[in-house]
Every structure is written in C-alpha cells, then in structure tokens.
Amino acid sequence: MDSNSLDKSSSFHTDIQWFKSALANTALINQLKEIKLIIFDVDGTLTDAKIQVNLDGEGGRTFSVQDGYAFRPAMAAGFTLVLMSGKDNPTTLLRGSKLGIPPELCLAGIHTKPTAIRRLQQKRSFTPVQTLIVGDDYYDAVVKQEGLALFACPADAPFYYQAYADIVLPRTGGHQAARLMLDLLLYINNQHFSQALITKALGTCEI
C-alpha cells in the first residue's frame, strides 16, 4: 500500500498546521531568526510534570527521546541551549549531560529565573532579543514580563500563560513541545537535519 494513502494521525495535522501558521507570521519569524540563546524549563516542559515521589523524597522524571534528538543538532547549528529548573533535582544535570549540554548550563534550584538569565546574558554576551525561554508556569512567564526573552509554552500550560505567551506550541510538555520549537528554529535558519522532508510535508497541507 502506498504510504501516502495511509491516514495521518491527528497530531500530524495539528503539528503541520501550526508549523505553517508560524511560517506565515512574518513578524514572529523575524524575531525567531534573532534567537541564539534558548532556555528550557524542565518540569512540565521537557517532562509531563510528573515526579516520582517515595519515602526518600522526589525521584526521577521521564523525558522524551524525540525532544532530546534535536538538541545536539541545534547546538551544532550555533544555538546555546540551557536547562533551567526551579527544583534542585539531580536529574536536570544528568539529562543535560546526556544531551551534551555543559554542566554550567544545566541550572537546578533556580528560584529567580530573571536574575539567572540576566547573569547568563551578560556572561555570554546575549541580548534579550536573542533569547527565548520555553516554559509552562509563572517563573517562565515572568522572564518575558521583565523584558528578558520571548516566551513560548506547551499546549498544557495554564490558559493565562498561553494567553500571555508569544508562542503556544501544539504539543504538551514532555511530548515533543521542545522538539517542535527546535524544529522551527532550525528550519527557518535552513539548518534542519530534515530540511527537505519538512518542506515536502508542508506542501501536503492547506491552512
């Protein structure tokens, strides 16, 4: 059977329509082309917000392999990626190390993200225009509120943060929200590892 005759999943249609809508938003794409520093919240963004809890306290988290697959190509393309979590959980550093993110850019136990981001921008010579934060809650939204970054959030962020965000991703935290953000950034810079396949897929769907 021709694979083109197979029914596509509902996520296929949602994702591709979101991607095409983003590309059609010239003002947004111009902003995204300035991005060099990408800060990912961990709980609820790179995970589904669930944490294992036992008698010894908080345990591990579950991360998406598909999210992680885009991290190294993004860094190879020149983006600086940061993991930043309010929770002081050792899995942030462990996950970061698996993705090739330097330990100094895997920041756990950060209770004032704007302060940490200002320090990072100054140290690495990035501006707010070059900075994007991807997160799902107050401490991520406040980064935008203080004028430090564009703000993107997953589809399961509280509605009032979705209303405030510059970008609402069509996937939920821990389920390829981060991947789609990196896919878009790599694609608009003509550096995606599947550039031709994305272009071909985009031609299959009207918005």
Q: Residue 189 is part of a domain; what is its CATH number?
A: 3.40.50.1000
Q: Is residue 51 part of a domain?
A: no
Query: pLDDT digit of tens for each residue in the chain (207 aa)?
Result: 344 444 557 788 899 999 999 999 999 999 999 999 999 999 999 999 887 777 666 667 889 999 999 999 999 999 999 999 998 888 899 999 999 999 999 999 998 999 999 999 999 999 999 999 999 999 999 999 999 999 999 999 999 999 999 999 999 999 999 999 999 999 999 999 999 999 999 987 665
**Domain count across the chain:** 1
Are the C-beta atoms of 150 and 132 separated by less than 8 Å?
yes
Q: Is residue 93 part of a domain?
A: no
Q: Is residue 1 part of a domain?
A: no
Q: Is residue 187 part of a domain?
A: yes
Between helix 195-202 and helix 10-24 the angle, nearest 10°, is 100
Q: Is residue 175 part of a domain?
A: yes
Q: Is residue 189 part of a domain?
A: yes
Q: Is residue 55 part of a domain?
A: no
Residue 182, domain extent: 13-38+69-81+103-112+128-207
**DSSP category for residue 157:** S
Rounded Cα distance, 169 and 134, in Å: 9
* pTM value surpassing 0.85: yes
DSSP 96-140: HHHHT--GGGEE-S-S-HHHHHHHHHHHHT--GGGEEEE-SSHHH
What local confidence, expressed as pLDDT, does residue 90 receive? 87
Q: Is residue 96 part of a domain?
A: no
